[in-house]
Structure 1
Amino acid sequence: MGAVTDDEVIRKRLLIDGDGAGDDRRINLLVKSFIKWCNSGSQEEGYSQYQRMLSTLSQCEFSMGKTLLVYDMNLREMENYEKIYKDIENSIAAAHEKISECKKQILQAKRIRKNRQEYDALAKVIQHHPDRHETLKHSPQGSSVPPQKKTTTTPSGLNCYGPSAQYTIAFQLGSLIFCKSGNKFMT
């Protein structure tokens, strides 16, 4: 067996001691006091050893009670921190939702602003032109606007002005075809 160094002894005592309250030393003192009490010859010496053992025992009990209270407090604090962590996570999630809603509102506001700008530009262009009443007052024909001729569309897609126009077109086409064939046709 190799020699035990002071560092190893100190390390073992620190590991056994726990939180450094001297419990290891108190237990060793209690064991030594018990051995002295068992080996004591007189009653006075036995009584003093007994009082020392009770004192050391009460110190150990107090230290153990204090350690248990600290342990319970640490457990409660861990639960409290977990609750706070969950509250923070919920707050972050709510903030993300609120941010996405605000982004949607910003996009809608941008669209509305763009539409308003286009409307304002169109309104400025319209303002440069006179309204219908002023245009009719300044027209050379007075207040009457010439009526537009009504056109009809034939199935072939030709615009015609009535049956007499259709007859004229048909007659002209017929005369062209007849002339091309070499016969003279008097119109």
Structure 2
Amino acid sequence: MGDEKDLEALGEQLYDLIYPKHTEIAGKLTGMLLELPAPVLTQIQHDETMLTEALDKALRALQLPQDPSNNGISKKDDEASASSDSLGEQLFELVDTCNTGHTQKITGMLLEQHKETVQHLLSEPSLLEEQVNLALKTLELGVDETDLSDLSDADDIERLGEKLFLLVKEKDAARANDITGLPCH
């Protein structure tokens, strides 16, 4: 319960910093920033440059086209939207609408896939929903408690990959190898 109170207090402090600059959307921006890890939030709170950069990213995510039927996208616009940052921001915004409470983690998980697969997720809401649910199921199995950057033992990584492969195989057996990056089983 203390974590929730700490997060709420941090949210109020961030809101107070954001409100003077972005009065009408301060609540939305605060909510978006609260998805960041706690140490980053603490830094943002004390570093004006980091706050400005985080707000700029959040604002760009909010300004993404809301009409998915816009087929008149120029090649230049299409290439720009295909950049990793842009894909991540678009994906984050869509995953956030699912209200899983794990937007940042799920977005990161989905961004591990090939760029073409991520682009396909952005254009197919039902597929995105399926992938979000699969990622959420993976997180519920306790994978979220393991920081992958701390895994030093190859066996740990392999076991984690096997778990993920089995979950993905249940949903999409034909593409499970491509999605997880593991060889055929």
TM-score range, shorter chain: under 0.3
Relative contact order (alpha carbons < 8 A, sep ≥ 6): 1 or 2 greater? 2
TM-score between the two structures when normalised by the length of structure 1: 0.21
TM-score by length of 2: 0.21
